[in-house]
Chains A and B, each alone.
Chain A
Amino acid sequence: GNSVTQMEGPVTLSEEAFLTINCTYTATGYPSLFWYVQYPGEGLQLLLKATKADDKGSNKGFEATYRKETTSFHLEKGSVQVSDSAVYFCALSSNKLTFGTGTQLKVEL
């Protein structure tokens, strides 16, 4: 079956630091890949997505590239802000969404 593995958190960074959250997946076929963000007490918001190999999704300074050869979709941001503190979920979609366990990011001044 499909599965998503992401790095365990929490990840604690200083403001303006570089962020990488690793995500790898196992799937049959050619799923779409997503990153969702969940702020405290809220539901999930789509952050970015990629629908085929080598696609790069980007939004709000975050980027992730669909790497079929390494079955990865790592999330990166060059300079994080305190407002980026949230839980980030990697997910893949075939007929339904399969989520990773989430990675909590804490950004401090």
Chain B
Amino acid sequence: GAVVSQHPSRVICKSGTSVKIECRSLDFQATTMFWYRQFPKQSLMLMATSNEGSKATYEQGVEKDKFLINHASLTLSTLTVTSAHPEDSSFYICSARVSRRVAGVADEQYFGPGTRLTVT
């Protein structure tokens, strides 16, 4: 149980275009989803926290107009990188936190496999 999927796993886009990344919790409900960015050989940087049905909370330094997050249901959150540029190339990882209404450890997060974005 507790599987999180991401789609696509890899995407290459041209500079100036927008890219949408989906994050789904497959077998549980996630009231909270997180989006991280990982640079080569570095740790994960939290970008934003997404709560179902409300606006995402962005970390300091993350442009909310560039990284649009939507969390429309308990099993789906999307990250849209708008007007992408080469410096946005990175590995984007989402995670989902188990709803307190589901059995399990409330503060445990389950991670998706990541999406490799390359902007040319």
Contacts and interface: CB of A to CB of B under 8 A. Distances in A.
Contact of A101 (B34, B43, B105, B108): B43
A100 B109 CA distance: 16
A62 interface: no
A11 interface: no
Given A42-B114, A43-B112, A44-B93, A96 B49 contact: yes
Interface residues of B, number: 20
A100 B43 contact: yes
A44 B93 CA distance: 9
User: Main SS of chain B's interface residues?
Assistant: strand
Nearest to A102: B43
Which 9 pairs between the two chains have the least Cβ-Cβ distance? A43-B114, A44-B111, A43-B113, A43-B111, A101-B43, A99-B43, A93-B107, A43-B93, A99-B44
Interface in A5-44: 32, 36, 41-44
Given A46-B110, A49-B108, A100-B43, 20 more contacts: A32-B105, A32-B107, A32-B108, A36-B111, A42-B113, A42-B114, A43-B93, A43-B112, A89-B43, A89-B44, A93-B107, A96-B46, A96-B49, A97-B34, A99-B44, A101-B42, A102-B41, A102-B42, A102-B43, A104-B41
B6 interface: yes
Contacts of B111: 36, 43-46
User: Main SS of chain A's interface residues?
Assistant: strand
Interface string A86-109: 000100010011011110100000
A35 B21 CA distance: 26
Contact of B6 (A43, A46, A97, A100): A43
A43 B92 CA distance: 9
Contacts of A58: none
